[in-house]
Amino acid sequence: MSNEQEFLPFPKGFATTAIHHSQEADQWDSMAIVPPLVTSTTFKQYGPAKPKQYEYGRSGNPTRNILEQVLANLDNAKYGLTFASGLATHSTLLGLFNNGDHVICGDDVYGGTGRLFRQVATKFGLDVSFVDFTNLAVVKNSIKSNTKLIWVETPTNPLMKIVDIKAAANLGKDNNIIVVVDNTFLTPYLQRPIDLGADIVIYSLSKYMNGHSDVIMGALTTSNEELYEKLKFLQNAMGGIPSPFDCYLVNRGLKTLAIRMQQHQKNGLAVAKFLEQHPKVEKVLYPGLKSHPQYDVFRKQTSGHSGTFSFYLKGVLKDAETFLNALNVFAIAESLGGYESLAELPSVMTHASVPPEHRAAIGITDNLIRLSVGIEDVEDLIADLEQAFSKID
């Protein structure tokens, strides 16, 4: 049923890697099965400038180190780095660039990513173009002699457009431009951009990766040693590191990532199919259904979709509000990717910082609702949506 054969198979050995990689009990004296949570900010040295391995907690911490290695392996990457939030990851990455460099970013990205580029990066002299990545000829035509970064988010948020990762990566390679893919919406269980040629994969771990809506954290992975060394330097030099306790929690969350994603996929697909036939729904934006305009690109580069997608309700702002207010199991909240179901109105919530004319131009209207379908019993979720629709007149 879910993960129909049109999609790539789920990655082999994924759950085993998440559970065991870098955490064999024999490596620590206690033989603890659960990796130790080390909160110490500093580490004793054998002599002046003679550390065993760690020196100061900002530059390295054993609990964080384990998580970074696991994350790298889940992406088939060589290196991983973690940060205090998804956006701290983005900010640190911007430290790679110089005043005058040009960035090409998708026109429909996470609201905070757009805000960082529009309102912060420009202050430091970065020139940013927002273009539609579903047509890579447009991206190609936007390349200038000073273009240094191509920023891909796929599926896009909240419009669920799909970007051909391999083609975008090739465009970067041909023009000596770094290609970054924000893989937050699918996780490495469903999409592996490094395998498709991306230079860097970036995550908000606050979403599916941790999956329990109790940690804000970010990460990046790469197999490019030179980039890794620069980013590792920036992690320490800029200081946006996560706490050891949060690293411990995310590592724990990863243990169930594979089974959580399978259930998010099943529930998401069932809810999308329910919405697609509902008379009060104008259109469902779910890339794992054949009705999606880029279904063919999507099925070739992923192992299916997660539980986050959007739909247009028939009606106006008032109807969307009536619908959302009537939900009982789904909570009205920002964020996504936790075990619990959430619903939100991007135009006034997650994407309120997008300039109104840009919102209108790309289709973030007041009847567009984004769902994060959780792993509750799907019949309860569908019944909740059905009764909320019945409240709209």
Ligand X SMILES: *Cc1c(COP(=O)(O)O)cnc(C)c1O
Which is catalytic among the residues 182, 195, 199, 366? 182
- Residue 124's SS3 state is helix
286 is catalytic: no
CA nearest neighbour of 166 among 146, 149, 181, 187: 181
Q: What angle do CA 300, 270, 191 make, to 5 degrees?
A: 30
Q: Does 218 bind ligand X (CB under 6 A)?
A: yes
Q: Does 172 bind ligand X (CB under 6 A)?
A: no
Q: Does 207 bind ligand X (CB under 6 A)?
A: yes
Pairing of strands 79-83, 45-47: unpaired
- For ligand X, which is the closer residue by CB, 94 or 382? 94
Beta bridge partners of 310: 285, 370
26 is catalytic: no
Nearest distance from C-beta of residue 315 to ligand X, angstroms: 26
Q: Does 268 bind ligand X (CB under 6 A)?
A: no
Q: Does 155 bind ligand X (CB under 6 A)?
A: no
Nearest distance from C-beta of residue 89 to ligand X, angstroms: 8
Residue from 15, 96, 216, 331 in contact with ligand X (CB under 6 A): 216
Which tokens is 124 given?
A: 């430091």
- For ligand X, which is the closer residue by CB, 83 or 323? 83
Amino acid, single-letter form, for residue 38: V
Q: Does 204 bind ligand X (CB under 6 A)?
A: yes
Q: Does 86 bind ligand X (CB under 6 A)?
A: yes
Which is catalytic among the residues 79, 110, 203, 228? 110
Cα–Cα distances (Å) from 351 to 3, 85, 156, 183, 354, in that order, read 30, 18, 12, 19, 5
Q: Does 367 bind ligand X (CB under 6 A)?
A: no
Q: Does 372 bind ligand X (CB under 6 A)?
A: no
- Distance of alpha carbon 389 from alpha carbon 385, whole angstroms: 6
Q: Whose CB is nearest to ligand X?
A: 86
Helix (H) or strand (E) holding 37: none
Q: Does 184 bind ligand X (CB under 6 A)?
A: yes
Instruction: Read off the DSSP letter of residue 56.
Output: B
Q: Does 157 bind ligand X (CB under 6 A)?
A: yes
Instruction: Read off the DSSP letter of residue 209.
Output: T
Token look-up 């709209």 returns 392
CA nearest neighbour of 248 among 32, 31, 29, 30: 32
Residue from 68, 107, 182, 246 in contact with ligand X (CB under 6 A): 182
- Judged by CB under 6 A, the chain residues 91 through 150 that form the site for ligand X are 110, 112-113
- For ligand X, which is the closer residue by CB, 23 or 235? 235
359 is catalytic: no
Total of residues contacting ligand X (CB under 6 A): 16
Which tokens is 280 given?
A: 């009060």
Pairing of strands 127-131, 102-106: parallel
Cis status, amide bond into 244, omega within 30 of 0: no
Amino acid, single-letter form, for residue 110: Y
- For ligand X, which is the closer residue by CB, 23 or 85? 85
Report yes or no: 8 and 301 within 8 Å, Cβ to Cβ.
yes
207 is catalytic: yes
Q: Does 302 bind ligand X (CB under 6 A)?
A: no
In the complex, which residues of this chain contact ligand X (CB under 6 A)? 85-87, 110, 112-113, 153, 157, 182, 184-185, 204, 206-207, 216, 218
Catalytic positions, written as ranges: 58, 110, 182, 207
